Structure 1
Amino acid sequence: MQQKLEILQKRLGYQFKDENLIIKALTHKSYKQSYNNERLEFLGDAVLDLIIGEFLFHKFPKVAEGELSKLRASLVNEKSFQKLAEILNLGEHIYISLAEENNKGREKSSLLSNAFEALIGALYLEAGLERAKEISIKLLNEAYPKIDMEAVFRDYKTTLQEFTQAKYGETPEYRLIHSYGPDHKKEFEMAVVVQGKEISRAKGKSKKWAQQASAEIALKILRKGEQ
């Protein structure tokens, strides 16, 4: 156990003075101890929300609040934190029950995401916000070498394509409806069409942005129709 903790801390770039803190951060409730990582997960979630919010605030000084919120939501979520956890190979180090182990718990998105949040919560408690921020941003840059609006939002189009292929056996079509404004400040309106039917429309400062926004709306509409 000690050796595995050393490997993780080396990968993390921080050596915990209180070893119990990192052990608690890695302990899933299924492990049936007198402690688990749920409280640290709660704290880490809040810490990461602040760290990533501040990071985006400085990285995109001209981006409006609404778009910053969407961008933060694309990074502060289970899928994103799973990606950061996988950089650390966190699945190898968590403490879970045999039943959870047999249920492929070490690969579960929610379990990995929660453990990562708990680890950052533990890091914050022991080393403070600046060290937690330094390590979190380093991992974020490793997971997303190109952090920009289009790169992060790409999953809406990918997810919509996977959804329509599974349900209808076809990929969505994106149609340009209108373009507005002068060349230096154009705005585009794009529509998503599935099976010849327009599902949604959205505007953006580039065709790609408008496609992503319309794909997000289309996903909500199509999923709601399944309920």
Structure 2
Amino acid sequence: MLGPEVRAFLTRHAGHEPGDETLWLAALTHGSTGEKRNYERLEFLGDRVLGLAVAEWLFQNSDEAEGRLSQRLNALVSRTTCARIAREIGLGPHMRLGKQARDDGGEDSDNILGDVIEALIGACFIEHGFSAARDMVRRLWADTLAGKTGKRKHPKSALQEWAAGNRRRMPEYRLVDRSGPDHALRFTVEVQVHNVGSAQATAHSKQDAETLAAEEFMRKFG
């Protein structure tokens, strides 16, 4: 059963009071609880609904070319952005995690936070349809959509262009370390440009670690 605090949280951010409690409980439930119904299938659906809602917003509010639209879309629906928005609304304490997952920091895991907020979008879509899910996305993503997320050049592209412009070899990325439990993995990546230097960064996905490493390299040498 949804407690009154969780029900109020869901009503506030989904824009509708939950009807099917088992649906919304599943959206909040991590597999570590051992329960058969968890957020995985809803996250799969919500990820696609989120992508469509953001793509529609970008199409309606920007006259940029396809490549720039894709760049912004990828940034706006990234795991990092989803997790940040989940933290902003205080999602973590409402997630249902197994004891070990919670002890391992699952409540603040980018992967879990991002998955659960997408699962909630999926639940909204199932119960109320695309219009309601789109409204939910636009409400939660409002500041992010209006901001600069995805507008600047991607750090890896910026580093590659910097290397070419300075007649250096192309950047080389190397996975230095992979640690942590499956639900809270951490990847450390090093990027190196021959005869210039290197930089490292750690994140919850290899892709994000590469992006942060490129940013750090540009900060040091760019």
**Same topology, TM > 0.5:** yes
Identical pairs, percent: 30
Tell me the TM-score normalized by structure 1. 0.66
Query: Per-residue deviation at 1:198?
Result: 11
Unmatched tracts of structure 2, length 5 or more: 166-170, 172-192, 199-210, 218-222
Q: Which runs of 5+ in 1 are unaligned?
A: 161-173, 178-191, 200-215, 223-227
Tell me, yes or no, if structure 1 residue 134 matches structure 2 residue 128: no
In 2: Cα distance, 1:76 partner to 1:25 partner: 18
Amino acid across the alignment from 1:219? A
Distance 1:107 1:88 in 2: 13
Separation in structure 2 between the aligned mates of residue 143 and residue 76 of structure 1, nearest angstrom: 10
- State which of 37, 40, 48 in structure 1 corresponds to 2:39: 37
* Partner amino acid, structure 2, of 1:91: G
1:43-58 → structure 2 map (5 Å cutoff): 43-58=45-60
The answer for the alignment partner of 2:69 in structure 1 is 68
Question: Structure 1: which amino acid aligns with 2:35?
Answer: Q
TM-score (norm 2): 0.68
Aligned length: 176
Does structure 1 conserve the Cα–Cα contact (< 8 Å) formed by 2:43 and 2:118? yes
Query: Of the candidates 6, 16, 19, which is equivalent to residue 18 of structure 2?
Result: 16
Cα shift readout 1:149-187 (whole Å, capped 9, x = no counterpart): 53xx37739x97xxxxxxxxxxxxx79x7xxxxxxxxxx
Partners of 1:116 and 1:76 lie apart in 2 by: 11
> Aligned pair 1:92/2:87, yes or no?
no
The aligned counterpart of 1:117 is: 118
Cα RMSD over matched residues? 3.4
What is the CA–CA distance in structure 2 between the aligned matches of 1:139 and 1:53, rounded to whole Å?
15
CA 1:9–1:44: 2 relative to 1, 3 Å:
same
